[in-house]
Each structure stands twice: as structure tokens, then as C-alpha cells.
Chains A and B, each alone.
Chain A
Amino acid sequence: MTTRRVTIDPITRLEGHGRIEIFLDEAGEVANAYLQVPELRGFERFCLGRPAEEMPHITPRICGVCPTAHHMAATRALDELWHVEPPPAGHKLRELFYNLFMFEDHTLHFYFLGGPDFIVGPSAPAAERNVLGVIGKVGLEIGGKVIAARKEARAIMAEMAGKAIHPVFGLPGGVSKPMTAELVDRLKRAAPGFVDFAAFSLQAFADVVLKNQAYVQTILAEHYTHRTYYMGLVDEARKVTFYRGRVRVVDPAGQQVAFFEPRDYLAHIAEHVEPWSYIKFPFLKKPGWKGFVDGVDSGVYRVAPLARLNVADGMATPRAQEHYEQMFATLGGRPAHSTLAFHWARLIEALQAAEVVLACSQDPEILSPDVRRVPTEAPTEGVGMVEAPRGTLIHHYKTDRNGILTFVNLLVATVHNAAPIQMAIKKAAQGVIHRGHVDDGLLNQVEMAFRAFDPCHACATHSLPGDMPLVARVHDASGAVVRVVARADIGARA
């Protein structure tokens, strides 16, 4: 049988090395498609034998994109490892810090990474489908606004934590230092602007995307839809939370099927191994692994912004709640299964994060000097779970009595989503590629399916120049390249 293979081969310092393989049959229809990820392996083994208290500083270096999430998950794991509960102000400052991070990361993602597909349009020419295109649609000043809002958020984070990128902040039992009155004043001045900016972003999304029926139809398209389980943290009121909570799982109809403490995750999640990928594919034990399929009988689940909104009874803040209700009304109820709605949910979360920062800024408790309880018990085992921008992040450590690591398991958002990403790519490819016709615009629509997950493959390698060479090659059955679809390699003219 004659087949040909289309390869999308992004190699990038930001996201690790990934390759989309699309196999076409004789009729030019998509027979199969999957993402191959040469993952950064061995990190957990690298940590063994080290003092556990180093983990909040080592693990952020896994990733040049969301180090703060690793820092906080590691810190939460150390609380449990040393059996110490931070004082209220310790939790509060961590929550403030973490919500500043979620706000700045989500807004960056929307404008620079995910937004172009929506605000400019999925089938716009590639040359316009970038942040400049976004600026052209929503106004020249927006670039400056994004930078200014993020800059102030990060400056406050750096004041709180020594540095924003690799923080020296979380300790078992609390945080390293209390807030000063000057910093709280700065936070009070900045926080209303964060809320305004997040609200502005949702308004821009409403004006440009939601008022364009073609864009809404793209979001709702069947080839971008999977009816899976969802997992995420919720707070005591079962509302969306990022820093701490219990884990809730809902089925494709939205019914709660599990509600557990982070430390019990292994009772609910197992991992499936495929011979063609380094990634292990987590699944829910109860339904079990049934392959790369959705539906109530398949244990495939998703994490990430939309998953968090799907598992929660609502947002934790009032303005975000209004948008939560509008989103589910538009998407036909909760849970929503449209992969591209991840972007919308991300903006609603950015608004919640900004509102939480504003509420924290007005809470006198953030000036409390009582920010840490020093551990007194011997360490044993700890699980830390936070909601990273890209979804649930789990750190699980065991140590000997001296706090030397004997077991490390890190389960990151992209791994939770590994099976759904495979399914999303295949379904999108089958939806848009027909009769052998493959071009840049169609490949972008396939890429959109996995870009919504914002996959991050644990790679912080920093080689210049960093732009992503995307090579799409068409192979015939003998393996010979018969056509190069898109772009080539880059190098420095030294």
C-alpha cells in the first residue's frame, strides 16, 4: 500500500524537541498521526541522593517557561515531607506570589503564543499570524500594556522572592521572608491595574473572537472536540484554585467521579507505556486504559485551564465568575469539550488570578511577620500538587531520616495531557487534511490542536538563536522526500 508521511518537526529551546508525524493513505486521507517527544529523561534519578530541601531550587531549572510552578509544587511537597503546616500568613504570601505568576504567565501566553490563532484567525497567512497581527487587531498600545503589566507583576515577585525566575521563597513550613510595608503599598497601587488588564483582555477576546461567528465555529468544530474526563484542584468551596486544594475528577458528562487529597494520587492514576514514545501516558485507573480514545469508558483525562473550569463549581472571584458563566453558556454547558476553548479559560483564569492578587493586597494578614513554622519532625514522604499554567503539577518525594532523597516522581501537565494531545493531533489532521492536500495553513490548524495545550517538554536548553525551525516533509512509501512543505534550519553567521 502506498503511503506518504508528513513531518512537522519543531526543534526549539522553549518547548523541547517534538515532531508531528502524519501518515496519509493511498487516497490522501489521514490514516494516523502522532506527536513524538524526545523528552528530557533522567531528571528524577539526577535528584536522588540530594538533600530534599534543594528541590525548590533544582526543579525550577527543569524548565525555562514555568519555573515558579515547580518551585511551588516542590515547596508544598516539603511541607508534607517534614509534617509541617505553614502559618496562615505563610500560605497567604505563597498564594499571592503564585497568583502573580499565573496572571503574568497566562497573559503572556495569550498575546504572544496562543492568541494569534484566534485574534488574527486560524487561516490567516503565516506572516500575519503572530503577535504583530494581534497588535494590528486590538491596537498598537497593547504590546506595551502586556509588557508593563507583566513587568510590574514580576518586579513584585522578585522583591518577594529574591528573583522571579528561580525564586528563593518557599521553605518547608512557610516562606523565607515577610512583606515590607513599602512592598505592600506597591502591590496595592499595582493590583487594580492587573484586574483592569485581565478584564480588557477578555473584552478584546469578546470583541474580536466571539463576535466573529466563523471563529466561534472553529472553537466548536468537531475535529477540535474530545469528550474526556477532567482533573484539577478545587478549593473548599469547590471553586478554581491554583495554589492548594483537593483534586476533583469529573466524567465526560460532568459528574464527579473522584475527590481526593493530592497525596492519594497514585490510587487514582496509573501510567500506560507505548513503544514509540518516551512519555508515559497517565490514565484514570477506574475506567482503565482503553487506548487513545475518549468517552466515559476510557480512562483518558485532561488537565489545563479548561479542565480546571470543568471540574469546579465556579470561579473563586466575582468578575471571573461572570465570564465562567458566559463561557459555558456559549459552549453549550459544563463540561465543555472544545480543545480550543483552553485559550478562553486561560483568560478567565488570568482575571481570577488578578482578582486574588487584589484581594490579597487589601488583606492585613500579608504584613504579618509570622510567615514560617520551622519543622521539628523527621522527614518521610511528601506530595505537593499545584495547578501550573498548563495544568496539574505533582511532585512526590521520599527521603531517609536525614532528608536525603530516595524516591522522586514528577508528573507534569504535559504528561497528564500526553494521550489527549495525541488524540487531538490525529482528529485535527483527519478533520482538515483531505485528498492529500497539505499546505502551511492546514498544518497550522493541526498545530493549533496541540498549541492549545501549550505543551512544554521540560527542556530549558539555551542554545542560540532559538527560533523554531519547522520542517514539514512529505515522504513516499520508500522514505524518499518528495516535497518540503515548510521552512529550514537556522544558524548564526559567526
Chain B
Amino acid sequence: MSDDARILVLCLGNDLRRDDGVGWRVAEQLEEAPPAGATVRRSAVSGFYLIDELIEFDRVVVVDAVRTGTHAPGDVFAFPVEALDGPPGPSPHAVGLPTVLQVGRQCGLTLPRVIHVVAIEVDDMDTLGAGLTPAVEAALPRAEALVRALAARSTA
């Protein structure tokens, strides 16, 4: 497998939970013309199940909904995964991406060297149903552009 083929754009979400589907909508846009050398994948898993998605790739862009509660819905952020400020889970029952990566590496797994996150602040992911709220829908072009820029940087 060539080095370029080991770039993953991992779009996380649940398209039956309103804005939680934003990652999949970004995937939909990317799939029409995938970034050069990148695999675009949709996933609904979380926690340690994410290892299954990440393990074969060298560089990854993760796209996901975020609810900080301190930003406006539709705000788009891009940051390296190391900036995710998650404490080590007090219970093994729920873990986030930072813990997954830490544990995976300490288990001796070869996980991606570089992971960037593109996160979209959401409004509603508690209502059942398809479709994004207007502010989040409007953020799609910005999110897509950020993902493309990061994927291109990953190939450089």
C-alpha cells in the first residue's frame, strides 16, 4: 500500500440524531471528489471501537460534532488531536479519542502518527430525526474546506 493511500478522513456521527449527523454530511460532500490519496469513511462507533477504524492509517482527519456549549452552533474548529483536553476516564466504561490513542500505543499498536480534528459546534443532537439545524447546515462548506486543506497538508 502506498504511503498516500494511508490517509483517512474519518467522519463520525449518527444521522438519526439531527446535528450529530454533521460528520456524515461532510463525508457526503467529500465523497463526490475525495481528497487526493485519501480514504473517506463514515462511522458511528466510539470509544475503543475507534481503534478498528484508525489502525491501518498513517495520517487521519477526524470530523465530528462537538458540544462545548461555549461557542455558537455552526462554529467550526480545527486542531491537532493533542489539543483535546480529556481527562483519563475515571471509569473504563467510556473513553474518548485521546485515551483510545494513549492506550492503543501503550498496547504496542501502530496508530496514526498525525491526527487532526475538524469539529462543528452543534445545536440539537437530542431530537430523533434527520436533517441539520440551519446554523450547522450553513457550516458545511467551511468544514469541508478545512478537511480538504488538512488532508492536502497530510499528503505534503
Contacts and interface: CB of A to CB of B under 8 A. Distances in A.
Interface in B111-130: 117, 119, 122, 125-126, 128-129
A135 B106 contact: yes
Given A43-B128, A490-B85, 20 more contacts: A58-B16, A112-B103, A127-B88, A130-B88, A131-B48, A132-B103, A144-B108, A147-B52, A440-B90, A451-B91, A460-B17, A464-B65, A464-B84, A466-B47, A491-B85, A492-B117, A492-B119, A493-B85, A494-B71, A494-B83
Contacts of A227: none
Interface in B54-76: 55, 64-71
Interface in A1-53: 10, 12-15, 40, 42-43, 46
B91 A10 contact: yes
B67 A463 contact: yes
Given A151-B55, A165-B43, A462 B94 contact: no
18 contacts: A14-B95, A15-B94, A40-B128, A65-B49, A130-B103, A132-B103, A135-B107, A144-B109, A165-B44, A165-B45, A447-B93, A461-B126, A465-B96, A466-B46, A468-B89, A468-B91, A486-B90, A493-B85
B98 interface: yes
A493 B93 contact: no
A108 interface: yes
Interface stretch (B7-15, B28-36, B131-139, B147-155): B7-15
Contacts of B128: 40, 42-43, 46
A201 to B, nearest CB: 15
Listed residue (B15, B89, B93, B108) with the most chain A CB atoms within 10 angstroms of its CB: B93
A468 B14 contact: no
B65 A492 contact: no
Contacts of B125: 461, 463
A463 B77 contact: no
Contact of A465 (B43, B98, B103): B98
Interface string A98-133: 000000000010001110100000000011011110
Contacts of A14: 46-47, 93-95
B20 interface: yes
A492 B14 contact: no
A468 B90 contact: yes
Contacts of A113: 92-93
B142 to A, nearest CB: 14
A423 to B, nearest CB: 20
Interface range on chain A (Cβ under 8 Å from partner): 35 or more
A15 B97 contact: no
The 4 lowest CB-CB distance pairs between A and B, nearest first, are A143-B107, A466-B96, A12-B94, A494-B77
Nearest to B17: A461
B89 A467 contact: yes
A64 B46 contact: yes
Nearest to B62: A464
A432 interface: no
A460 B49 CA distance: 13
Interface range on chain B (Cβ under 8 Å from partner): 35 or more
Listed residue (B68, B77, B90, B97) with the most chain A CB atoms within 10 angstroms of its CB: B90
B97 A466 contact: yes
B141 interface: no
B68 A467 contact: no
A166 interface: yes
B25 to A, nearest CB: 13
B93 A462 contact: no
Listed residue (A43, A58, A61, A166) with the most chain B CB atoms within 10 angstroms of its CB: A61
Listed residue (B83, B95, B106, B108) with the most chain A CB atoms within 10 angstroms of its CB: B95
Contacts of B47: 13-14, 112, 466
A372 interface: no
B129 A464 contact: no
A494 B68 contact: yes
Given A116-B92, A462-B65, A464-B117, A487 B87 contact: yes
Contacts of B20: 460-463
A470 B95 CA distance: 12
B44 A130 contact: no
A71 interface: no
A150 interface: yes
Contacts of B98: 465, 467
A335 B137 CA distance: 54
A486 B90 CA distance: 9
Contact of A462 (B12, B89, B103, B106): B12
A140 interface: yes
B99 interface: yes
A135 B103 CA distance: 10
A19 B116 CA distance: 32
Interface string A412-425: 00000000000000
Contact of A129 (B64, B71, B84, B92): B92
A154 interface: yes
A463 B55 CA distance: 21
B14 A461 contact: yes
A67 interface: yes
A141 interface: yes
Nearest to A63: B44
A13 B128 CA distance: 15
Contacts of B95: 14, 112, 466-468
A303 B125 CA distance: 30
Contacts of A114: 92
A463 B122 contact: yes
Interface string A461-494: 1111111111000000000000000111011111
Listed residue (A108, A140, A460, A461) with the most chain B CB atoms within 10 angstroms of its CB: A461
Nearest to B100: A466
Nearest to A469: B87
